[in-house]
Amino acid sequence: MRTSGYFYCSSLSFIIALVYANKEELDKHLQLGNQLLAKAQFADALTHYHAAIELDPTNYQTLYRRATVYLAMGKSKNAIPDLDKVLQLKSDFIAARIQRGNVLLKQGEIDAAANDFNSVLSVESSNSEVTAKVELIEQLRQIVHQAKSSFEGGDYASAEYYLNQALEHMMWDASLYRMRAKCYENSGMIRKAIADMRTVTKLVSDSTQSFLDVSLMYYAIGDVEESLGQIRECLKLDPDHQKCFDFYKKVKKFAKMKETMNDLIAKEDWMGCLDKGQQMLKQEKEVEAIQLDVYKQTCKCNREAGHIAEAIQECTLVLQQGDDVEVLCDRAEAYLLEEDFDSALTDYNKALEVNSEFRRAKEGIDRVQKLKKQAGKRDYYKILGVKR
């Protein structure tokens, strides 16, 4: 009996020592986590809160602090499970319920957010902050309804107007960004549509279709490199995604051709550049922005190869879509080779209107003025019938 009593006491002592050791370690992690949180060193604070929760998964205050860190780091999806657990452990924790309501509201889960806020008001009916949130939710219901109604009716300008209002408060709602992206796309504002869809890829974990959509839009505006980068992101998520893989092969092939053309230009192989340009135009016969990007390069290559008429024609095609300072200067230099000084001067001046500090245009104007002066002298001596 003495032996068993001895072992019992030893075991009890060991357990007590272990409990105290765990509590000491727990308190240390909590203290460090709180200090780091106060200093806004969120990643380090998170490490200590993880360790504390492993030691005591039922400590609702630690869970709440970890949720706070997640939110500070922009990881709302990670915060929600912690807040859920907090409220399971302590349903009357008002601060946690308000915090969860705020997160749900930003995510566009307005019914769930309203439930949390109304639950708070049932206990604290005079809470003005929460009362304002309940009123805001009712306004947002109407705004979202107007946005959807306008969108379905094809009134994209009105839909965009309402979506802008909704997204001021529901900035983590992927569906609203997706809808606004469609509005922008249908209105021809592709870069704005891309920006919204890129936001969607950050908000939604399975974003294969969104990455494909972004890649297609980048390709449509002639940005092959960005298109390739986005389609690769799709395949990282799902290597077997057939649509992404098919488009990846197409974009990769074209990107390689573009890289080869740039290498030929760097080597001043102007005829090689023109041959590669023809191959690229045969490869892509539909997307105008891609074709214009090719013409932007072949304009320069034709000029350097002495094909002045072709250079002017291709530069003009590009400039019909908007003034590009490099292309304006390329066309100006082609005009100079034909001694069309007035047209060259017009292009250089246009380039300076776009970018008043563009050095190539400034130097071009100086060159035109010198050439005009020389030409004037040449004509003067020709009229006199004497040699200079």
Measured distance CA(252)–CA(237) in Å, rounded: 18
Q: Determine, yes or no, domain membership for 306.
A: no
Question: What local confidence, expressed as pLDDT, does residue 31 receive?
Answer: 83
pLDDT tier for residue 26 given thresholds of 50, 70 and 90: confident
Q: Tell me the pLDDT of the chain averaged across its residues.
A: 91
Q: Output the pLDDT for position 377.
A: 63
The two counts, helices (H) then strands (E), for the chain are: 19, 0
Binned at pLDDT 50, 70 and 90, residue 34 comes out as confident
**347 is a domain residue:** yes
Residue 76 is assigned to a structural domain of this protein: no
Predicted local confidence at residue 378, as pLDDT: 60
Distance of CA 206 to the CA centre of its chain: 16
> Could you list the residue range(s) of the whole structural domain that residue 381 is in?
335-388
Which pTM value belongs to this model? 0.83
Could you report the per-residue pLDDT of 160-185, keeping only the tens digit for each? Answer: 999 999 999 999 999 999 999 999 99
Q: How many CB atoms lie within 10 A of CB 302?
A: 25
**Tokens 């892509």 identify what position?**
284
Q: Are 293 and 257 in contact (CB under 8 A)?
A: no
- Domain assignment present for residue 91? The answer is no
Per residue in 348-369, pLDDT (tens digit) is 999 999 999 999 999 999 999 9
CA distance 207 to 215: 12
Per-residue pLDDT band for 376 (boundaries 50, 70, 90) equals low
In three-state secondary structure terms, 6 is helix
pLDDT in tens, 101-142: 999 999 999 999 999 999 999 999 999 999 999 999 999 999
More confident: 203 or 19: 203
DSSP secondary structure string for all residues of 124-173: -TT-HHHHHHHHHHHHHHHHHHHHHHHHHTT-HHHHHHHHHHHHHH-TT-
Residue 279 predicted with pLDDT over 50? yes
Residue 19 has pLDDT above 70, yes or no: no
Contact at 8 Å (CB) between 322 and 354? no
Whether residue 134 is contained in a domain is answered as no
Is 245 a member of any domain?
no
Q: Cα(295)–Cα(344) distance, rounded to whole angstroms?
A: 19
Count of domains for the chain = 1
Is residue 304's pLDDT more than 80? yes
Mean pLDDT to the nearest integer, 22-48 = 85
For the chain, give the number of residues.
Answer: 388
The model's pLDDT over 305-340, given as tens digits with 9 standing for 90+, comes to: 999 999 999 999 999 999 999 999 999 999 999 999
Nearest to 344 by CA among 321, 372, 319: 372
For residue 111, tell me if it sits in a domain.
Answer: no
Give CA–CA dist 374/251, Å, rounded.
49
CA distance 113 to 97: 9
Per-residue pLDDT band for 384 (boundaries 50, 70, 90) equals very low
Q: Is residue 370 in some structural domain?
A: yes
